[in-house]
Structure 1
């Protein structure tokens, strides 16, 4: 979770660590005419990322066992997570009209450029705001922070982080495999890797690659250190749902929950049914 420290400080607020604090911060931001916790819910990936984090908070790694049909998705901890998701909308933690807003560029602009929101759901890749020349002045006006998503189930533990990863591959039907391999080596192991690390502020996974020096302001360097610390201190879990049918149904039920069209119990049963089709 990203937060606008300058805005929170102006309202005598701190980044929330649990639900009670999150509710207080959101209410205070709304009273001040600002946006609370932004989410680009028009994009299914943001909704699923956020809910998977909530599931990790309430149920540990159980969701992955459920996707593998080892346990039912009607487990009470899953129902509790669905209930919390619905509560976040019912109690106006998320901004109004969240499902009409995209992550890029609707909430991105409101948070990074316009600076009218206190908090934002997004990944560590938002570090690239420090290198976006189009919003350079806006970013420099505020101090920004990064924290774990708040502990919503109240057990005092932080939810495990979702690991984003990527890579390069050669199409098995390619007629230019040697040329493709040269490109992969360049992008993954050589100068291309350094360029990409510089662009995204992400350390290289290839240990022999010289790590780039980051031309960032003090606040950017501080947040880069925070990202690295969070990743080192907290277990990382798989991001995403392998079965596209389950993923599609998940976005559907989470949307219906937000609009109070179904109950948390109904949501759990609908997901369980698709998993076991």
Structure 2
């Protein structure tokens, strides 16, 4: 019987991963036959092609190599993840290992110090990470060990579609706006977004706009009480955002489009542009369970990852909104020096290891937070994602630097502006009131 060479390579790779994890020192106390139980709260899009490898080569590989640790893992995605995590925190029932954000999306865990500072656990391993990945987070300490560096804004471009219509990749907003009539005549939308959930516009588009038109210094001054959201730089950013709808660049249908529905729309050529985070790349790559891809590898060279074209009046140029990535944290309720603490750290080490980061690089799920993580198995679109980081700078993601009490009204206000229900000035005033209420509550 002949074995498929790809399968053989896969088995060998899996065996090497299991062998590596097994080299770690067992955590169960000497003479104890009782395994350590860890509850894990994980963020996972089960519809993504990356999900299969994540489960098989990350989670199950760890379990096979660590029979002395039993994982009770709960996977959630999108807003339900955040809502349930807040409920866990309010009830004082946080899982032992938690997927979390470096800032506002996980502000409760940071500011109430519900998770441990991981800096003392790192030791010499710290040198293996990019410096930006280990910067203090929202609570002033390293609450989670990032699995990635994340650009929350990417302009995905179907260059093949543009070429077929005789249109160039735009470098300025004026050039993008000028394309609207031709795209409409061809029955196409201009920019797609899956913005039914209210976080999408703020995180993947508006944060970039504020970074370009106001700059991080302005946000720093607002947080220091030296400027206000009602000042011209922020209002100007809101006005430009409104102009995207007035100019036909964005359609109000984005608010009726679910986050995952947009994947198929873009892959099928509904529009030449998609705005989303860099993680969206993984949805277009080959699904290992089916061998199929929304964008087949032989067509991926037709797609480019870039940033929104130059905006009139911008003070910062060619930037995306960027943060140290999400990662895994350890509950502060785990006793210091305990077998459970050693087990939790062992899991976090594995989840941020070069081997696991290589898997996430190959699936497009995350760009590595560790240095020198590469792969020769990248599909063309994953290679394009790696090149993207060589071409752009980064500014704040607003829901990373603002508390949920502040960015929540902004998220809603951005939807209201897009739907014609609020003006930029009204939303700016609402966000400023929310900031003042948050300050008063601290």
Per the normalisation by structure 2, the TM-score is 0.56
* 1:115–1:68 CA distance, 2 compared to 1 (3 A): farther
Tell whether 2:396 aligns with 1:237: yes
Could you say which residue in structure 2 is the equivalent of 1:228?
Answer: 389
Kindly indicate which of the two structures has a greater share of residues assigned to helix. 1
Are the counterparts in 1 of residues 195 and 258 from structure 2 also a CA contact under 8 Å?
A: yes
In 1, distance between residues paired with 2:332 and 2:303? 44
Tell whether 2:407 aligns with 1:251: no
Q: Is there any run of 5+ residues in structure 2 with no aligned partner, and where?
A: 1-154, 438-442
Deviation at 1:26, TM superposition (A): 2.9
The RMSD of aligned alpha carbons is 2.4
Report SS of the residue matched to 1:197: helix
Deviation at 1:172, TM superposition (A): 2.0
Are the counterparts in 2 of residues 41 and 100 from structure 1 also a CA contact under 8 Å?
A: yes
Could you say which residue in structure 2 is the equivalent of 1:130?
Answer: 285
Could you say which residue in structure 1 is the equivalent of 2:187?
Answer: 33
* 1:194–1:226 CA distance, 2 compared to 1 (3 A): closer
Could you say which residue in structure 2 is the equivalent of 1:276?
Answer: 436
In 2, distance between residues paired with 1:51 and 1:107? 18
Report SS of the residue matched to 1:3: strand
Match runs of 1:106-145 below 5 Å: 106-112=261-267, 114-128=268-282, 129-132=284-287, 136=293, 138-139=295-296, 140-141=298-299, 143-145=302-304
Report SS of the residue matched to 1:276: helix
Which is higher, the Rg of structure 1 or of structure 2? Answer: 2
Deviation at 1:63, TM superposition (A): 2.7
Matched positions, count: 270
Are the counterparts in 1 of residues 286 and 294 from structure 2 also a CA contact under 8 Å?
A: no
Partner of residue 168 from structure 1, selected from 311, 316, 328: 328
In 2, distance between residues paired with 1:81 and 1:226? 28
Tell whether 2:247 aligns with 1:91: yes
More displaced stretch, 180-189 vs 237-246: 237-246
Report SS of the residue matched to 2:276: coil
Deviation by residue 1:253-273 (Cα, 9 ceiling, x = unmatched): 112211222222222112111
Deviation at 1:7, TM superposition (A): 0.5
In 2, distance between residues paired with 1:93 and 1:190? 41
Deviation by residue 1:58-83 (Cα, 9 ceiling, x = unmatched): 11111343244331111112111111
In 1, distance between residues paired with 2:409 and 2:294? 41
Q: Is there any run of 5+ residues in structure 1 with no aligned partner, and where?
A: none
Report SS of the residue matched to 1:65: helix
Tell whether 2:213 aligns with 1:58: yes
Could you say which residue in structure 1 is the equivalent of 2:355?
Answer: 191
In 2, distance between residues paired with 1:26 and 1:156? 26
Could you say which residue in structure 2 is the equivalent of 1:146?
Answer: 305
In 2, distance between residues paired with 1:25 and 1:156? 25
* 1:195–1:141 CA distance, 2 compared to 1 (3 A): closer
Deviation by residue 1:183-236 (Cα, 9 ceiling, x = unmatched): 1111213533333333336443233x653333313x542x134312124xx144
* 1:12–1:210 CA distance, 2 compared to 1 (3 A): closer
Per the normalisation by structure 1, the TM-score is 0.87
* 1:174–1:196 CA distance, 2 compared to 1 (3 A): farther
Deviation by residue 1:145-176 (Cα, 9 ceiling, x = unmatched): 11111222244852532224122222122362
